[in-house]
Amino acid sequence: MPANPPGPAAPQDSPPAPRSAFENWISLSGTVVAAGSFFAFVFLFAIEAFTGDRNQYLGILTFVVAPIFLITGLLAILIGWLIHRRRIARCAPDTPRALLTIDLSRPRDRRNFIVFLGGAFLFLLLTAFGSYETFHYTESVQFCGTLCHTVMEPEHVAYQKGEHARVACVQCHVGGGAGYYLKSKISGARQLYALAFNTYNRPIPTPIHNLRPAQDTCEQCHWPERFTGSLERRYDHLLSDKTNSTTTVRLLLKVGGGGRGPENGIHWHMAKANKVEYYATDDKRQDIVWVRTTVGGGAGHVYRKADFKGEPPAAGIRTMDCVDCHTRPAHNYRNPNDLIEQSVRDGHIAAAQFPLLKRRVAAALSAEYASVPEAMEKISTALQTQYPASPAREAMIAEVQTLYRENFFPLMKANWKAYPNNIGHKNWPGCFRCHNDELLAGAAKPPITQNDCNSCHVILAQGQGAQLSQLAPEGVEFVHPGGETSGLLCSDCHNGTNQ
């Protein structure tokens, strides 16, 4: 048979059009996922931008979930391509590889090249923008405070009531710098695991051992050079007697500092040239048995309790910083006493109408409840049986319920008892952990003790009514409203509830 006359361009003779290695299921699925998530990102972003919606789930969808899918999709395209390319090379070794030749003098290549450049530019721009937004989102109060709602609820609620409600969580918990950002994300991943497998602690334990040193966080906004002078504070209390009588202490707290003038007063511990180190035998840092000072850059003293022999383990020695006193700058779960006293002071409850108010409300607030609804019901029942019906009673009960919801979190077991407040010395040992007669530096050196009640503060006035306007600048002796204290620590009797 005569051979077919060869045509001008016999199709079977030209090499078969090289199959693109992108044509495989993995890459194709990747393309669908990537394109889908890209549009989802744009769409969600538009919703957030145009509606001003601040829903936390929208944020996580836009800046965490969509980018994860986008990147997974792009990776799948690449992986599919790699696998398929190898397979083509193995099954048909003779198949010519598509060689990439770009000839910018060809209009088609020129057009493709421009499209490619434009696409790459857009992609990089979006990636930069996306990762910037993702970074910001994972640094937001919304992300830290509301995402795992139950777990962070106590911290978030108390935070909103504190002085730092406008300071982002990460400004204290992470601070600046890439290293700590990464560290916090790694620890965040661990927390996510604990959340998923329900292995997290209730309450979340403190002290936070890897909290960033306060020099890098607190001192970004409050720097010790700026601490000067004294602060006047007024502490209004109710007694647990029938008439809810009042008693007030006015103090001038010698906060002091190391800025202008000599380094003295309460912030003496934080002056640049001083260092206070300590060793506590318990995890909550309450039982301090050993203290070492560096004063003015030179040697200071070593104080120890008589029954603590030997040297503390080097890893257990902590250098005192802001959070050793300010343990609750942002999450102050208030105690029942303070809550009821403040409510009366602010005029939310007319104490005169409710005999024994302080005692009864403190008891209702400090009882153990398994959940908030249970607490609401039992608080209401208890107070209803104790006081005759009246509109004022219902308003009082509603106020007490609000106090509970804002300061007690039974699901996380978070409340004032779980977290020591080391400022002061009334309900927790606080300053008296070190300022006591037991930590001694040998016979020659007096103890850290400031047994003189006017050394950290001046008691300007105390009592009621007119007594409070007779100020004594040099300080008066404290008259304890509860009678003889028998040399006990204040916190041996006071614990925020009045038993």
Is residue 322 within the footprint of ligand HEC (CB under 6 A)?
yes
Q: Which is nearer to ligand HEC, 64 or 74 (CB)?
A: 64
Contact (Cβ atoms closer than 8 angstroms) between residue 281 and residue 289: yes
Q: Which residues sit opposite 257 in a β-bridge?
A: 264
Contact (Cβ atoms closer than 8 angstroms) between residue 365 and residue 329: no
Among 139, 153, 216, 219, binds ligand HEC (CB under 6 A): 219
Is residue 95 within the footprint of ligand HEC (CB under 6 A)?
no
Among 21, 44, 323, 351, binds ligand HEC (CB under 6 A): 323
Residue numbers 380-409 binding ligand HEC by CB under 6 A: none
Distance CA 92, CA 88 (A): 6
457-463: strand order across its sheet = 231-238, 246-253, 457-463
Is residue 220 within the footprint of ligand HEC (CB under 6 A)?
yes
Contact (Cβ atoms closer than 8 angstroms) between residue 448 and residue 436: yes
Residue numbers 411-440 binding ligand HEC by CB under 6 A: 414, 419, 423-426, 430-431, 433-435
Q: What's the N-to-C CA distance of the chain in angstroms?
A: 115
Distance CA 129, CA 251 (A): 52
Is residue 453 within the footprint of ligand HEC (CB under 6 A)?
yes
**How many other CB atoms are there within 10 angstroms of residue 351's CB atom?**
20
Residue numbers 228-247 binding ligand HEC by CB under 6 A: 231, 233, 235, 237, 239-240, 247
* Helices within 162-230 (DSSP H only): 169-173, 178-196, 218-221
Count interface residues toward ligand HEC (CB under 6 A).
94
Choose the stretch contacting ligand HEC; rule: CB under 6 A; options: 8-16, 50-58, 80-88, 321-329.
321-329
Is residue 71 within the footprint of ligand HEC (CB under 6 A)?
no
Is residue 270 within the footprint of ligand HEC (CB under 6 A)?
yes
Q: What are phi and psi of 252, to 5 degrees?
A: -110, 105
Q: Which residues sit opposite 318 in a β-bridge?
A: 278
Among 344, 403, 456, 461, binds ligand HEC (CB under 6 A): 456
Is residue 304 within the footprint of ligand HEC (CB under 6 A)?
no
Q: Which is nearer to ligand HEC, 95 or 150 (CB)?
A: 150
CB of 411 to ligand HEC, least distance (A): 14
> What are the counts of helices (DSSP H) followed by strands (DSSP E) for the chain?
15, 7
Is residue 485 within the footprint of ligand HEC (CB under 6 A)?
yes
Q: Which residues sit opposite 275 in a β-bridge?
A: 294
Is residue 157 within the footprint of ligand HEC (CB under 6 A)?
no
Among 59, 73, 224, 312, binds ligand HEC (CB under 6 A): 224
Choose the stretch contacting ligand HEC; rule: CB under 6 A; options: 53-61, 93-101, 199-207, 374-382.
199-207
Among 140, 293, 343, 495, binds ligand HEC (CB under 6 A): 293
Is residue 289 within the footprint of ligand HEC (CB under 6 A)?
no
Is residue 195 within the footprint of ligand HEC (CB under 6 A)?
no
Q: Which residues sit opposite 409 in a β-bridge?
A: 414
Among 81, 138, 140, 155, binds ligand HEC (CB under 6 A): 155
Residue 156: closest CA among 375, 382, 380, 407 = 407
Distance CA 443, CA 147 (A): 56
Is residue 494 within the footprint of ligand HEC (CB under 6 A)?
yes
Is residue 448 within the footprint of ligand HEC (CB under 6 A)?
yes
**Please, which residues have CB within 8 angstroms of residue 2's CB and are 6 or more apart in sequence?**
none
With H, G, I as helix, E, B as strand and everything else as coil, classify residue 149: helix
Q: Which is nearer to ligand HEC, 38 or 278 (CB)?
A: 278
The secondary structure element, H or E, covering residue 262 is none
Q: Which is nearer to ligand HEC, 45 or 333 (CB)?
A: 333
Rg (alpha carbons) of the chain, rounded to whole number: 34
Is residue 140 within the footprint of ligand HEC (CB under 6 A)?
no
Residue whose token pair is 């394109």: 35
Among 23, 109, 163, 283, binds ligand HEC (CB under 6 A): 163
The secondary structure element, H or E, covering residue 110 is helix 107-138
CB of 193 to ligand HEC, least distance (A): 16
Is residue 221 within the footprint of ligand HEC (CB under 6 A)?
yes
Q: Which is nearer to ligand HEC, 45 or 321 (CB)?
A: 321
